[in-house]
């Protein structure tokens, strides 16, 4: 079991800076002390430890107004490709949201650009060249994603409020809408908030995110067509394919107008939807949900 903590004691801080130097400066023949800068005193520091308190990852967030920079991100080699980096980014992003930050920025080494892209960052230009030989790319991530949804963002905002009010587990899971086109809905969840004892996503959370995503597509299209009714899950089948180590993204699509129209005359409606959940770019679960809409 791994957990993200804040270094508190002198010993923890020393170990934290030591790992920053070992992973980010020593390989480039940089001296001790080069792993620190003038912003460390005012920054938010996080580190990840295992059950024996062995340090396996570090990261820093520096907040300036409504913008924050992620820097000094590193994971020990033996723990890479197991979602540790994603969890660290999510932990720092959570701090940024708590501080009211609207945008995250970073300078990523070229070999890390694909990883940060999976975490929701976008390349916006060339970054600095460290030590005269390591090129970076400047990347950003907006934290107000609900307002970037072009099709009916006000309905997506209301759906998230409905989820949090009527289905409290959705808020604890960190389920967010990231795309709605009128026929396709995509959601993401906070991996850190849904981990099992194997450090992958809890199977119950995968199932719940899939159920919510299908429920959400029906609710959004009902609102668009001026229909009302109570949506309940009648049945659900799920196939788990691979562990979810990376950010969980669930996707469902369908044009439901004709299926929903009997609600206008007081008839009960049954809809079957197929939801796919991805771990980063990898397909991890396939869910078939059967929903019943009861007319008011």
Give the integer Cα–Cα distance in Å for 23 and 133. 17
Give the DSSP per-residue string, 11-67.
Answer: HHHHHHHHHHHHHHTGGGTPPTTTT--TTGGGSEEEEEE-TT--EEEEEEEEEETTE
Give the integer Cα–Cα distance in Å for 61 and 91. 10
| Residues 180, 164 within the same domain | yes
For tokens 């059950």, the residue is: 51
| Residues 137, 151 within the same domain | no
| Residues 231, 207 within the same domain | yes
Model pTM? 0.60
User: Which residues are within 8 A (CB) of 56 and not within 5 positions of it... i.e. 6 or more apart?
Assistant: 2, 48, 49, 50, 75, 76, 79, 84
**Of 127, 143, 159, which closes a domain?**
143
Residue 277 buriedness (CB in 10 A; 0-12 / 13-18 / 19+): buried
Give the integer Cα–Cα distance in Å for 33 and 60. 16
pLDDT band at 150 (very low <50, low <70, confident <90, very high): low
| Residues 240, 116 within the same domain | no
pLDDT band at 232 (very low <50, low <70, confident <90, very high): very high
Look at residue 146 and tell me whether its pLDDT is greater than 60. no
pLDDT band at 126 (very low <50, low <70, confident <90, very high): confident
Question: Bigger pLDDT: 197 or 249?
Answer: 249
| Residues 177, 53 within the same domain | no
- Predicted local distance difference test score (pLDDT) of residue 128: 78
Residue 178 is part of a domain; what is its CATH number? 3.10.129.10
| Residues 213, 155 within the same domain | yes
**Of 124, 143, 162, which closes a domain?**
143
Q: What is the pLDDT of residues 31-47, one digit of tens each?
A: 999 999 999 999 999 99
- Quote the number of domains for the chain: 2
| Residues 91, 152 within the same domain | no
| Residues 23, 122 within the same domain | yes
Residue 11 is part of a domain; what is its CATH number? 3.40.630.30
Task: Give the range of the structural domain holding residue 261, as residue numbers without chain letter.
Answer: 146-294
Look at residue 81 and tell me whether its pLDDT is greater than 80. no
For tokens 């019943």, the residue is: 292
| Residues 161, 260 within the same domain | yes
Distances (CA, A) of 153 to 84, 120, 179, 185, 224: 32, 19, 9, 12, 12
- Tell which residue, 277, 72, 61, 68, has the closest CA to residue 188: 277
| Residues 250, 152 within the same domain | yes
pLDDT band at 28 (very low <50, low <70, confident <90, very high): confident
Look at residue 276 and tell me whether its pLDDT is greater than 80. yes
**Which residues on neighbouring strands pair with residue 3, listed in sequence order?**
49
Give the integer Cα–Cα distance in Å for 57 and 41. 20
Look at residue 147 and tell me whether its pLDDT is greater than 60. no
| Residues 9, 95 within the same domain | yes
| Residues 122, 34 within the same domain | yes
For tokens 């004691």, the residue is: 9
**Of 108, 124, 143, which closes a domain?**
143
């Amino acid at each position: 079991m791994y957990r993200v903590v804040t270094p508190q004691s002198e010993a923890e801080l020393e170990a934290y800076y030591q790992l920053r130097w070992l992973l980010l400066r020593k390989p480039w023949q940089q001296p001790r002390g080069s792993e620190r800068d003038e912003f460390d005193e005012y920054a938010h520091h996080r580190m990840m430890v295992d059950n024996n308190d062995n340090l396996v990852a570090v990261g820093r967030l520096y907040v300036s107004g409504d913008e924050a920079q992620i820097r000094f991100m590193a994971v020990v080699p033996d723990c890479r490709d197991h979602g540790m980096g994603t969890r660290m980014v999510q932990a720092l992003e959570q701090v940024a949201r708590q501080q009211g930050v609207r945008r995250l920025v970073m300078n990523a080494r070229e070999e890390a650009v694909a990883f940060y892209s999976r975490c929701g960052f976008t390349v916006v230009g060339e970054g600095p060249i460290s030590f005269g030989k390591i090129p970076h790319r400047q990347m950003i991530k907006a934290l107000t994603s609900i307002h970037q949804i072009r099709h009916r963002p006000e309905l997506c905002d209301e759906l998230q409020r409905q989820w949090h009010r009527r289905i409290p587990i959705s808020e604890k899971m960190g389920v967010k809408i990231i795309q709605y086109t009128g026929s396709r809905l995509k959601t993401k969840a906070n991996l850190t908030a849904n981990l099992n004892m194997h450090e992958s996503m809890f199977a119950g959370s995968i199932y719940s995110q899939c159920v919510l995503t299908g429920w959400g597509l029906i609710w959004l299209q009902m609102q668009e067509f001026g229909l009302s009714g109570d949506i309940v899950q009648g049945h659900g089948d799920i196939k788990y394919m691979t562990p979810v180590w990376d950010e969980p993204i669930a996707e469902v699509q369908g044009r439901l107008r004709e299926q929903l129209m009997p609600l206008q005359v007081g008839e009960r409606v049954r809809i079957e939807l197929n939801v796919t959940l991805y771990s980063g770019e990898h397909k991890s679960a396939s869910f078939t949900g059967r929903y019943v809409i009861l007319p008011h």
